Amino acid sequence: MSEYLLSITQGALLTVAVSLASLMLSTMLGLLGATAKLSGRRSLVWLATLYTTVVRGIPELVLMLLVFYGAAIGINSLFESMGLDYTLDLNPFVAGVVTLGFIYGAYMTETFRGAIMSIPRGQMEAAWAFGMGPGKTFFRITLPQMLRYALPGYTNNWLVLIKATALVSLIGLQDMTYLAKQASAATRQPFVFLLFAAALYLVFTSISLWVLKRLNNRYSLGSEKVGL
């Protein structure tokens, strides 16, 4: 029993790695998507809208299987058509991170877009009038204020993303959900190991809530005084 619990705990480290890597990718895609939607360029707005609409309308499991199986089949077919004797075996970790990052990048896009739109445009126009370029305006004016508006939605997306990492067990990645199912099948005591995995997820989400709440409190300092 203790050996199975130890293996699930070790698998939890892989779950954390998948979660953090997916969060980084989704944050980058979210910033790019929000920038594209607010750029005013019709082609970029159309692409970003298509991305968020399609991704948010397809279940995560379907996308996970499409990326893991479909991408490998497509790339191998391309190699074959080019006459290359090479077969790609897609790594489950990479497939899981790319899929989750791609999915939650769509949700982050809407979170960041809403946060940026909450900032009075006059502040950015004032920065441009002082000679600040787009990059300096973003990092000195937009980003600090955007964090305050985006953190509540960002927190929710992160909590859902952590729980969605359980899907990677279906493509063979030995995270804690996969190991909990294996231990349950071997011992015929599913509730013990699945409840243990659930407790670990609860620990991760509780720690995340505590950290992000402190960040939210910090970036909200003084907002009541200015009526925000």
Q: 5, 10, 2: which is closest to 175 by C-alpha?
A: 10
Q: Which residue has the tokens 């909990």?
A: 180
DSSP assigned state of 208:
H
Q: Which residue has the tokens 């490998």?
A: 72
- pLDDT 10s per residue in the chain (228 long)? 778 888 889 889 999 999 999 999 999 999 999 989 988 889 999 999 999 999 989 888 888 888 777 777 777 787 777 777 776 677 888 888 988 999 999 999 999 999 888 877 777 777 777 777 767 777 777 777 788 888 889 999 999 999 999 988 888 888 899 899 888 888 888 788 899 999 999 999 999 999 988 888 876 665 554 443
For 88, phi then psi, to 5°, come to: -90, 125
- CA 108 to each of CA 22, 33, 217: distance values in angstroms, whole numbers, following the listed order: 12, 8, 20
The answer to whether residue 197 sits within a structural domain is: yes
If residue 52 lies in a helix (H) or strand (E), which one and from where to where? helix 42-57
DSSP assigned state of 170:
G
The answer to whether residue 20 sits within a structural domain is: yes
The answer to whether residue 226 sits within a structural domain is: no
Give the span between the Cα atoms of 147 and 152, in whole angstroms: 9
Q: Are 166 and 175 in contact, with CB atoms under 8 Å apart?
A: yes
Give the span between the Cα atoms of 133 and 158, in whole angstroms: 31
Q: List the alpha helices (DSSP H) in 58-175.
A: 60-65, 72-81, 92-117, 121-129, 134-137, 143-164
Give the span between the Cα atoms of 102 and 96, in whole angstroms: 10
pLDDT at 221: 61
If residue 61 lies in a helix (H) or strand (E), which one and from where to where? helix 60-65
The answer to whether residue 224 sits within a structural domain is: no
The answer to whether residue 227 sits within a structural domain is: no
Per the structure, the complete domain to which residue 118 belongs is given by 2-219
The answer to whether residue 57 sits within a structural domain is: yes
If residue 19 lies in a helix (H) or strand (E), which one and from where to where? helix 2-37
The CATH code of the domain that includes 69 is: 1.10.3720.10
Amino acid at 163: K
Give the span between the Cα atoms of 124 and 134, in whole angstroms: 9
- Coil, strand, or helix at residue 119? coil
The answer to whether residue 228 sits within a structural domain is: no
Give the span between the Cα atoms of 31 and 147, in whole angstroms: 12
pLDDT at 110: 93
- Coil, strand, or helix at residue 16? helix
The answer to whether residue 86 sits within a structural domain is: yes
Provide the domain count of the chain: 1
